[in-house]
Amino acid sequence: MRKSSVAVFFILGLFLASCSQQEQPSSNQPAPSLGMPAPGANPDEVREMIVVEEPSGAVKSFDLVAKQFEFIPNVIEVNRGDKVKVTLTSADVVHGFAINEYGVNERVVPGQPTTVEFTADKKGTFTFYCSVSCGSGHGRMKGTLIVN
């Protein structure tokens, strides 16, 4: 009985060893792109790992009204990667719509809807504001863009 147990363990060990061996990539294959060094690569040459989150890519549309001295609604919430489409109308005088972090700055003229489109590729809370002097309360005319 003892000899057969040793033989079974020996065969099992050989089987497990053969299953755990991985095929080594040939020198002309590209390295895996998971932020890990390729097998046989010098770890000192690996400088950083890049983590890429998948953007959602959904299109989020908003209708905003600009009027002295507010935006209605004054909060927009989207997810990182969303394509944002804002259609603005002015209820009274010429206004502006700006978001510095996204390079957005457009004039909004009464009677002429203005559409602004951008991709929300930065997470955080950002201020949008009127960028055209529109009266004594102009400095208070702000809203919030939240990118989750």
**CATH number (domain holding residue 90):** 2.60.40.420
Number of domains making up the chain: 2
Q: Cα–Cα distance between 120 and 147 in angstroms, integer?
A: 7
Is the pTM above the cut of 0.75? no
- The structure tokens 């203005």 sit at 114
Q: Collect the ranges in the chain with pLDDT lower than 50.
A: 16, 20-36, 46-53
Are 87 and 60 in contact, with CB atoms under 8 Å apart? no
- Note whether 71 and 143 are same-domain residues: yes
- Note whether 135 and 66 are same-domain residues: yes
- Note whether 23 and 73 are same-domain residues: no
Domain-located, residue 53: no
- Note whether 95 and 132 are same-domain residues: yes
Q: Cα–Cα distance between 107 and 123 in angstroms, integer?
A: 25
- Note whether 121 and 67 are same-domain residues: yes
- Note whether 94 and 141 are same-domain residues: yes
Are 116 and 88 in contact, with CB atoms under 8 Å apart? yes
Q: Cα–Cα distance between 42 and 92 in angstroms, integer?
A: 65
pLDDT of residue 48: 45
Q: Which domain holds residue 14?
A: 2-45
Domain-located, residue 41: yes
pLDDT of residue 33: 45
- Note whether 76 and 31 are same-domain residues: no
pLDDT of residue 58: 87
**Residues in Cβ contact with 66 at an 8 Å cutoff, skipping those fewer than 6 apart:** 88, 89, 90, 91, 95, 97, 108, 130, 141
- Note whether 74 and 116 are same-domain residues: yes
The separation between CA 99 and the C-alpha centre of its own chain, rounded to angstroms, equals: 17
Q: Cα–Cα distance between 114 and 58 in angstroms, integer?
A: 21
Domain-located, residue 124: yes
94-111 confidence digits (pLDDT tens): 999 999 999 999 999 999
Are 95 and 137 in contact, with CB atoms under 8 Å apart? no
Domain-located, residue 21: yes
Amino acid at 69: F
